[in-house]
Every structure is written in structure tokens, then in C-alpha cells.
Amino acid sequence: MMLSWPLEPSPAIRFVLLFVVGLCVGSFLNVVIIRLPRGRSLLKPSSRCGFCRSSIPTWMNIPVLSFLFSGGTCARCGTAFSARYPAIELLTAILFSAVGAVYGWSVQTLFFCLFSASLIAMTFIDLELRIIPDQISLGGWLVALLLSALNIPGYPIDFFSALMGSISGYLTFWLVSRAFLAVTQEEGLGGGDVKLMGFIGAVFGWKGVLTTILVGNILGALVGVISILIYKKSKRSPIPFGPFLAIGALVHLFQLDLMWWI
């Protein structure tokens, strides 16, 4: 059910609004990605230059724009900031606008934007540190189950479907990881990936689980083979799997797995 809210803005205004909100949320995700896996507070202290430790003034914290105006360097010591920061802000903004384009001005858009944000944070933490923090996988899973139980009008999934999705996501992926271990004799898929699939199942139900695992495995296998062939990486260099699952989940979110939506 697509529930519209009063004062529905035009598609163009909705696009701009979600884009701006996405930039700001992306700016917060940059903090989450650095601090959450290191057990540091997300709120304090304010952002600092990683080199000279001088705090970054508020006017320099405007997403993307500050980066452009400052040339991406610290005002005090001139150290270059990573281009990852504005890239994550832009990515979040684009995803939020795209979710709005698909789901309109609705409760679904609100929740799917939050879901996309957690996928972005998880992806960049997994790429950097090869871990998926429990706060995102287990925490997101619990929140998704709880929300589905609250009977919020317009919420995309009911509790029973979310529960079935959770169980199918967790069990299917656990079996995939066992099979992977049996075939390759390597612990390739971590427990974090399995919990993440529980989360994705609680958001989408079993259809989303199938798409996510299918797309994730195909992409993971492709990248694995390419990295062995081209970059001569050994089979032993682990590839983080969370990002592939995130792409699989986005394929379902944007209804690109047409078979389920007809």
C-alpha cells in the first residue's frame, strides 16, 4: 500500500529535498564509518583534522561544498582530506533521491532511506576493516523486526513476512557459508555477513533474500575470478562480501529484479 502524506511536494521538490537530506545524512555516515567500529562516540568530539588534530569549524562541515571550496585540505595544516568523504555524501544523496523516485512521498521512502544509509555505512566499514559491526547487522535486524510488529500504516512488510525473511536470510546464507567452507577449505564468509542477511530478510522478506544472495554471489564470484586473473591475487586474499550483498539488496530495493514485482 502506498500511503501518501498531506502536503505532498512535486517530484522535483521531493528530489531536491531528499538530495539535501541525503547529503547531511551522508556527512553523519562519514563519522559513523570512522568511529563506530573503533568504539568511539558518534556525537563527541566534533570532526578533527586527522593530522594536526585542529577541530573543523562548523562552516567547514557543509557536505560536499566545503570540500570543494577548501580544495579538500585542512585550513590549518593543509593536509589533504580523503575524497571518500564527499563521495559518500553524494552517494547517500543520490540513493535517497532515487528511493523517493521509486516509492514517492511515503512511509516506505522514509524507511528505505534509513535502510540504504545503514547499507552504505556497513559497506565502507567492511571495505576498510573487513568487519560488519553488530550494531548495524544485529541492531538493524532487531529494529526492522520491531518496526514490522508495530503495524505502522504504509510500512512495507508485516511481522510474519519479516520473521520468515529473517529466518530464510540467516539460514540460507549460513548454508552458503558452510558450503563455501567445504569447497574452498577457507572461512570466506564471516558471521557478520550471515547476520546482515537476517537484517535484509527482515526488511524485504524471502524474495529479497533470494535476489540479494543471487546477485551478491554472482558479483562476488566475478570479482574474485577477475582479481585472481588480472591482479594475480592469491585465492587466499579475502574479499569483503558485505558490499556485494548491499548491491544485491539495492537491486531488490529499486525493483530491478523484475520477476518479483510483476
Q: Which is nearer to Zn ion, 40 or 53 (CB)?
A: 53
Q: Which is nearer to Zn ion, 58 or 79 (CB)?
A: 79
- Joined together, the cell numbers standing for residue 140 give 538493524
Q: Shortest approach of Zn ion to residue 65 CB, angstroms? A: 19
For residue 29, give the nearest of 80, 109, 99, 96 by alpha carbon.
Answer: 96
Binding to Zn ion in span 133-172, by CB under 5 A: none
- String of DSSP letters for 34-89: HHGGGT--SSSS--B-TTT-PBPPGGGGSTTHHHHHTTTB-TTT-PBPPTHHHHHH
Binding residue for Zn ion, selected from 49, 65, 149, 223, defined by CB under 5 A: 49
Span interacting with Zn ion, options 34-42, 45-53, 125-133, 148-156, rule CB under 5 A: 45-53
Burial class (CB in 10 A: 0-12, 13-18, 19+), 119: buried
Q: Is 75 in the site for Zn ion (CB under 5 A)?
A: no
Q: Which is nearer to Zn ion, 52 or 146 (CB)?
A: 52
Span interacting with Zn ion, options 12-20, 49-57, 141-149, 170-178, rule CB under 5 A: 49-57
Residues 6+ apart with CB under 8 A from 114: none
Q: Which is nearer to Zn ion, 5 or 51 (CB)?
A: 51
Q: Is 52 in the site for Zn ion (CB under 5 A)?
A: yes
Q: Shortest approach of Zn ion to residue 44 CB, angstroms? A: 19
Span interacting with Zn ion, options 72-80, 100-108, 126-134, 180-188, rule CB under 5 A: 72-80
* Residue 157 · residue 205 · CB < 8 Å: yes
Q: Is 80 in the site for Zn ion (CB under 5 A)?
A: no
Residue 187 phi, psi dihedral angles, 5° rounding: -85, 80
Span interacting with Zn ion, options 41-49, 124-132, 145-153, 179-187, rule CB under 5 A: 41-49
Query: What is the DSSP-derived secondary structure letter of residue 258?
Result: G
Q: Which residues pair with 55 in a beta bridge?
A: 48
- Please state the separation of Cα 161 from the chain's center in Å: 22
Q: Shortest approach of Zn ion to residue 51 CB, angstroms? A: 5
* Residue 97 · residue 20 · CB < 8 Å: no
For residue 244, give the nearest of 143, 84, 145, 132 by alpha carbon.
Answer: 132
Q: Shortest approach of Zn ion to residue 52 CB, angstroms? A: 3
Distance CA 202, CA 205 (A): 6
Q: Shortest approach of Zn ion to residue 28 CB, angstroms? A: 21
Binding to Zn ion in span 216-255, by CB under 5 A: none
Q: Which is nearer to Zn ion, 52 or 129 (CB)?
A: 52
Q: Shortest approach of Zn ion to residue 115 CB, angstroms? A: 35
Interface with Zn ion (CB under 5 A): 49, 51-52, 74, 76-77, 79
